Amino acid sequence: MAHRFDDKQKIDQQWNLAQATGPVETDEKMFWISAVVYQNGPEQGHYAAAWGETEWPTGVDKKWDCPMEMAQGSKPFKKGPAKAWALARVTDGGGKFFAWPHPVELE
C-alpha cells in the first residue's frame, strides 16, 4: 500500500516546506495526492501548516513529491517533529483512494 511520507521532510532557509515526499509501494502507481503537514509547537501560539495537491496522469511508481505552500496565517516551521496527513488515489484493482496519517521529522 502506498501510505507513507518520507520520515524526514526538508524545510527551506525561510523555514517553509516547499515539497513533501514519500515512496510508492512496489507494484503500485499513484495518480493523485492531497497532503497536509502541520506542527503545533509546545510554546503558546506556534502553529505552522503547509498543504498541497498534485496529480500524475500516467502515474508514478517509485517516489511521489507534492509541491506545498504555507497555509494562510501560518507561522514558519521549526526543526523537529510534525504530523502529516494525505489522501491519494493509487492503483489497486483499478484505483482506490487511501488516507493516512504519518509522524514526520522536519529538518
What is the set of domains in the chain, with CATH numbers?
Answer: 8-106 (2.60.40)
* CA gap 43, 12 in Å, rounded: 22
Find out whether 79 and 17 touch, Cβ atoms under 8 Å.
no
Q: Where are the beta strands (DSSP E) in 1-95?
A: 8-9, 19-23, 30-40, 47-60, 63-67, 69-70, 80-90
**Amino acid 45: pLDDT:** 73
pTM of the complete model? 0.90
**Amino acid 41: pLDDT:** 73
Once rounded to an integer, what is the mean pLDDT over residues 92-106? 86
The per-residue pLDDT for range 9-49, each reduced to its tens digit, is 999 999 999 999 999 987 888 999 999 999 987 766 789 99
Q: Which of 60, 16, 14 is nearest to 37 (CA)?
A: 16
The per-residue pLDDT for range 55-82, each reduced to its tens digit, is 998 889 899 999 999 999 999 999 999 9
Find out whether 50 and 17 touch, Cβ atoms under 8 Å.
yes
